[in-house]
């Protein structure tokens, strides 16, 4: 089965609302083996909605629309579907009666008081394209739509997630599974990497991607976000056990190719992995931050139980704080500067001693927008002190201030992870 998504609403086109429905629906469809090929956003225009529906039915046997089913003049999904199918809208008397009962009940229970009569436009929600079936809405007032056409089946649901989610799981999904016949199961395995660019990860797995391409099952996808790259291996089979068997050799090959860049799978996090490695070694950590302003400590404390390992952090943003709080030698700051490998190492040693930890991690750099100490924007120095000795890492990030800070956090945590993984107790 091949499906396309069509989100309706000017608010989506203009960026007032993010189309989270498409992401949610994409995951739901993938999990049951429905091939989602296209996701489109269209404004509140009858002709445009109709055109997009007709085009989608020429490519797919299932079209799923969200949004535009409310009572107002700009809710035009019903009209667009009817125009695409070449049928007229008709008022469903049972839907209209149910809406009147619901609005009367709301009037008695709500702040408007008894005797409330809903505006007539509310009953537009009882209009259906000829031949369509209503999909029950257990939360709101706008029913969904199911319409069989010569090209395939069209479903329409409200755009409000709280109404759309239960309508999809309760009505649309069971119908999709019935139409698909023999059920298929899609299983995903996600390998998580850090410290390398997406292109490097893709190059490492190029041979495996090429090997799988002619068959298309399993499949490998790359998803880069926040300075990390996820490798998603997906397999489709009759049951989960068979899908996992298809994934296993691909995962084994991917693990070998990724090496130290691989830090976890599925729901693992980089900060959780660092804390786990420290706990396994019976060690603790203290963090000193300059350019990241506490973001490293924030990531670590997002992990439940971090206090067993993480002693605390110091944001030594000003040069004077590096000296007075962390005890960085003024000669180091005068000679090498606050943005230098020497300063990062001294900060890591200082915070380790200050908080009584076995390991110290420090980040200093130039987030932007202006250079500092004649150091270009994106310069980052990471210092680490522990049983492994004193280590530093320097890099240059290419982003803006916000992106550089986020990436610096990932690079710092990953540098410590790699160090702990390589240097055993």
CATH of the domain at 110: 3.40.980.10
Do residue 62 and residue 87 come from a single domain? Answer: yes
Q: What's the confidence (pLDDT) of residue 65?
A: 99
Percent of the residues in the chain that have a pLDDT greater than 90, as a whole number: 85
pLDDT at 58: 96
Q: Whose CA is closest to 345, among 333, 356, 13?
A: 333
Residue 195 has which token pair? 């410290």
Which of these three, 265, 280, 295, is where a domain ends?
A: 265
Q: Per-residue pLDDT for 30 more than 70?
A: yes
pLDDT digits (tens, 9 = 90+) for 374-395: 999 999 999 999 999 999 999 9
CATH number at residue 351: 3.90.950.20
pTM of this structure: 0.77
The 3-state DSSP class for residue 5 equals strand
Q: Does the pLDDT of residue 306 top 60, yes or no?
A: yes
Q: Are residues 257 and 324 in the same domain?
A: no
Strand, helix or coil at 338?
coil
- Does 412 share its domain with 331? yes
pLDDT for res 91: 95
User: Are 163 and 212 members of one domain?
Assistant: no
Q: Are residues 43 and 162 in the same domain?
A: yes
pLDDT given at position 386: 98
Query: Average pLDDT of the chain?
Result: 94
* Both tokens assigned to 370: 């202006």
Structural domain containing residue 90: 2-180
Domain boundary among the residues 162, 180, 198 is at 180
Q: Cβ neighbours of residue 348 under 8 Å, at least 6 residues apart?
A: 288, 360, 361, 362, 383, 384, 385, 390
The mean pLDDT value for 49-65 works out to 98
Statement to judge: residues 149 and 19 lie in one domain: yes
Q: Do 74 and 93 belong to one domain?
A: yes
* 405 shares a domain with 314: yes
Least confidently predicted of 125-129, 157-161, 174-178, 244-248 = 174-178
Above pLDDT 70, what percent of the chain? 96
Same structural domain for residues 279 and 241?
no
Across 24-33, 128-137, 292-301, 320-329, least confident range: 24-33
Q: DSSP labels for 305-336?
A: TGGGTEEEEEE--SHHHHHHTT---HHHHHHT
Q: Which of 148, 180, 212 is the endpoint of a domain?
A: 180
SS3 of the chain: helix, strand, coil, percent, to 5 = 45, 25, 30
What pLDDT is recorded for position 260?
97
> What average pLDDT does this structure show over 303-307?
97
CATH of the domain at 240: 3.30.70.2860
What pLDDT is recorded for position 31? 81
**Top-ranked range on mean pLDDT: pick from 50-54, 113-117, 137-141:** 50-54
Same domain, 285 and 368: yes
User: How many structural domains compose the chain?
Assistant: 3
Q: What is the mean pLDDT of residues 352-366?
A: 98
Range of lowest pLDDT (118-127, 133-142, 156-165, 189-198): 118-127
**Please, are residues 344 and 381 in contact by the beta-carbon 8 Å criterion?**
yes
Q: 318 and 218 share a domain?
A: no
Query: Does residue 108 carry a pLDDT above 60?
Result: no
Within this chain, do residues 24 and 133 fall inside the same structural domain, yes or no?
A: yes
Mean pLDDT confidence for 175-197: 88
């Amino acid at each position: 089965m091949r499906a396309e998504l069509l989100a309706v609403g000017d608010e989506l086109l203009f960026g007032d609302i993010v189309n989270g429905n498409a992401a949610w629906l994409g995951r739901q469809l993938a999990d049951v083996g429905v091939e989602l090929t296209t996701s489109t956003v269209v404004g509140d225009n009858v002709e445009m909605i109709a055109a997009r529906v007709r085009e989608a039915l020429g490519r797919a046997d299932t079209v799923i629309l969200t949004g535009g089913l409310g009572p107002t003049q700009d809710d035009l999904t019903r009209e667009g579907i009817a125009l695409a199918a070449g049928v007229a809208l008709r008022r469903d008397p049972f839907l209209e009666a149910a809406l009147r009962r619901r609005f009367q009940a709301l009037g008695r229970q709500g702040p408007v008081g008894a005797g409330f009569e809903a505006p007539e436009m509310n009953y537009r929600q009882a209009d259906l394209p000829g031949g369509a079936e209503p999909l029950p809405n257990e939360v709101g007032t706008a029913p969904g739509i199911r319409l069989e056409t010569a090209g395939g089946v069209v479903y329409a649901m409200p755009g409000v997630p709280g109404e759309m989610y239960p309508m999809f799981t309760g009505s649309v999904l069971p119908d999709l599974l019935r139409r698909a016949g023999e059920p298929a199961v899609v299983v995903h395995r996600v390998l998580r990497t850090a410290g390398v660019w997406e292109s490097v990860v893709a190059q490492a797995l190029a041979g495996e991607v090429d090997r799988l391409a002619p068959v298309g099952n399993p499949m490998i996808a790359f998803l880069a976000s926040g300075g990390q790259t996820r490798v998603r291996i997906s397999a489709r089979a009759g049951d989960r056990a068979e899908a996992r068997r298809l994934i296993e050799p691909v995962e084994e090959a991917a693990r070998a190719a990724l090496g130290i860049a691989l830090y976890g799978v599925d729901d693992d996090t980089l900060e959780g992995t660092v804390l786990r490695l420290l706990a396994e070694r019976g060690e603790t950590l203290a963090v000193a931050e300059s350019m990241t302003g506490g973001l490293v400590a924030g990531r670590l404390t997002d992990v439940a139980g971090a206090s067993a390992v993480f002693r605390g952090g110091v944001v030594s943003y000003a040069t004077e704080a590096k000296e007075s709080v962390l005890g960085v030698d003024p000669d180091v700051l005068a000679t090498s500067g606050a943005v230098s490998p020497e300063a990062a190492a001294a900060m890591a040693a200082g915070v380790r001693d200050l908080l009584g930890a076995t390991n110290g991690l420090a980040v200093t750099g130039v987030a932007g927008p202006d250079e500092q100490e004649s150091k270009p924007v994106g310069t980052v120095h990471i210092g680490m002190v522990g049983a492994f000795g004193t280590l530093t890492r320097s890099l240059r990030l290419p982003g803006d201030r916000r992106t550089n800070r986020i990436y610096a956090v990932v690079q710092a945590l990953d540098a410590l992870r790699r160090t702990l993984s390589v240097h055993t107790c």
